[in-house]
Chains A and B, each alone.
Chain A
């Protein structure tokens, strides 16, 4: 198997790759034509059989999720694409939509056909206006070319697509909060069950999938389930985009078969920045427990990462070298969660608020010995007690950092200041300060 296998990223270097003309020249919409010649049940079975797992973080099998929809009752059923990419470190869907929006639209058309949906939605975070321009233009182009709208490609199957921009809220990445937001409300999670498959958008059966999951669908239809399964591992099939950021020589997007290791990816990205060494890294975003150099050889598939005590999440691999203060990094993540907590449940709203206060105190040099006990205790009141998974994930970086780097917190308290020089971590030259 090749070290890298660009499929979803394959067209990102093409001339004006975001246009319908460029996409079609690269073979675009051939998968849709192929899917429309099959029955919806056959398309669904192919995706189910491919083993594709959700690329938005949770890793639930995509085809199985589709199959949870109740039998048609004559009323509408919806597909909603989650393009609210906001998990810290995650930066794959936004470049995909900027460079190759038609791959998402083709995936939407195939998926909607498979699940019997006639009105699909993309919920894009609002803070990326150029991506929204590209999506709006692509949806218009596709409709003008008969790839959306009445009788898609002359098949008799109708599909409407609405591309919607949010307005700045991390919580809208949680699927039920996203649906509330799309209904014009505050984005707060709903009690489950009922799950969206049964009562989602406007209380109708709804599938919510991540951008990368849906953009994988045309490839699976084109190549077949067995071709897809020939890549990756037995339980984590296919390819996926790995995003490397931070203290690496060549940060960026690396699409590889699932199961590649961080050691391999770091090597491909030119290693940790010159003259420095790896201190810690986040495998799947800031809501997943951190890893150290000891986990460099863990295969980055769903089950192996879980077995090593973290989560594959969104494959948002954030790299930090020895210049970085763990207390500062964790404080910043806690500031993020406190800011983004939707306020619906007490464990997350109050827990992240007080953890932020205590962490700021320690990082600022006013920490007290008893603060360590507070840092140990509060996460126990959040994890497993929050209303939604985003709350449950909020203390992950803190808890894991206390396991690996407890003495660093203690040093802040003993010294009454941060022992690190923040300038040593920065990426710009002295002249650019």
Chain B
């Protein structure tokens, strides 16, 4: 290992924290590989040796794991990973064209890094954001509803050092190495930034509020045991009568919520007691 002594000390201390999360030390291997990526920018030979030594494994065992998972890089990664989703739905909605445009613009192909070390371009598989297609993940942060033009603008902004904001993520974009550290399970204090949900995530919720649709009310005192009394029949599909005031028997927090959402939307949200 060629790690400087103080880096090695820090790594050993943090590795101990990671290992303590699990009943069995080997479970720490994936987070430790993320942690090493945060130091080296990829899974370096040092990283393999460090994980092997720390967990009592052979280098071959660690390499076998590191090569299995696509997020572990085998050569130095760019400061920004530009991942373009090219699984069917995103590809067809425009991901193919976005990838082609970026590949041409950056003059690199899949899993290649630009000569200045800034960008690694990747074809990524479905990232669970299909309702925001076509999607890009930059350093594993969501960039929703992209186009070839927006992707090129993003590259230009990052190159110029201008602030870049993920669609659903922190206020500014972190580097590949900083993100790798979070993936090792170390909080960076940015969980509170960004929105709760984008508009597509709330599409059904907002439509239900506008129409006064909700689940049947939970009756207070309803036992959770299987022999509970049957609940009231489901309301008809037409908007139910307004029930802005929550039943008095509800717990304080539930009542506060029911009243609050009811008054926010002017709809019948108060019917459900939670």
Does A374 count as interface, using CB distance less than 8 angstroms? no
Does B187 count as interface, using CB distance less than 8 angstroms? yes
> Is A140 in contact with B88, judged by CB distance below 8 angstroms?
no
Q: Separation in Å of the B43 CB from the closest CB of chain A?
A: 10
Separation of A245 and B145 alpha carbons in the complex (Å): 12
Separation of A250 and B199 alpha carbons in the complex (Å): 9
- Neighbouring A residues of B96 by C-beta, 8 Å: 422
Partner of A250, one of B30, B203, B229: B203
Interface size on B, residues (CB 8 A): 115
> Is A245 in contact with B201, judged by CB distance below 8 angstroms?
no
> Is A231 in contact with B234, judged by CB distance below 8 angstroms?
yes
> Is A130 in contact with B169, judged by CB distance below 8 angstroms?
yes
> Is B224 in contact with A164, judged by CB distance below 8 angstroms?
no
CB under 8 Å from chain B, chain A span 29-45: 30, 34-35, 38, 42-43, 45
Separation of A250 and B98 alpha carbons in the complex (Å): 22
Q: Nearest chain-A residue to B30 (Cβ)?
A: A167
Interface segment, one of A7-15, A145-153, A345-353, A408-416: A7-15
Does B134 count as interface, using CB distance less than 8 angstroms? yes
Separation of A14 and B205 alpha carbons in the complex (Å): 11
Q: Nearest chain-A residue to B200 (Cβ)?
A: A252
Q: Separation in Å of the A64 CB from the closest CB of chain B?
A: 14
Separation of A126 and B139 alpha carbons in the complex (Å): 11
Separation of A168 and B128 alpha carbons in the complex (Å): 12
> Is A245 in contact with B234, judged by CB distance below 8 angstroms?
no
Q: Nearest chain-B residue to A250 (Cβ)?
A: B203
Separation of A425 and B96 alpha carbons in the complex (Å): 11
Partner of B149, one of A13, A24, A432: A432
- Neighbouring A residues of B229 by C-beta, 8 Å: 226
Q: Nearest chain-A residue to B179 (Cβ)?
A: A129
Q: Separation in Å of the B260 CB from the closest CB of chain A?
A: 8
- Neighbouring B residues of A333 by C-beta, 8 Å: 87-88
Does A239 count as interface, using CB distance less than 8 angstroms? yes
Separation of A429 and B94 alpha carbons in the complex (Å): 11
Q: Nearest chain-B residue to A204 (Cβ)?
A: B23
Known: A46-B224, A246-B93, A427-B134. A128 touches B237 (CB 8 A): no
Does A72 count as interface, using CB distance less than 8 angstroms? no
Encode A117-150 as 1/0 by CB contact (under 8 A) with B: 0010000011111101110110010000000000
Does B21 count as interface, using CB distance less than 8 angstroms? yes
> Is A250 in contact with B69, judged by CB distance below 8 angstroms?
no
CB under 8 Å from chain A, chain B span 153-194: 166, 168-170, 179, 182-185, 187-188, 190-192, 194
- Neighbouring A residues of B254 by C-beta, 8 Å: 27, 30
Separation of A140 and B189 alpha carbons in the complex (Å): 12
- Neighbouring A residues of B206 by C-beta, 8 Å: 13
- Neighbouring B residues of A207 by C-beta, 8 Å: none
Interface segment, one of A54-62, A301-309, A324-332, A378-386: A324-332
Encode A76-114 as 1/0 by CB contact (under 8 A) with B: 100000000111111101110011100000000000000
Closest 5 interchain pairs by CB? A252-B203, A252-B200, A2-B213, A184-B29, A254-B204
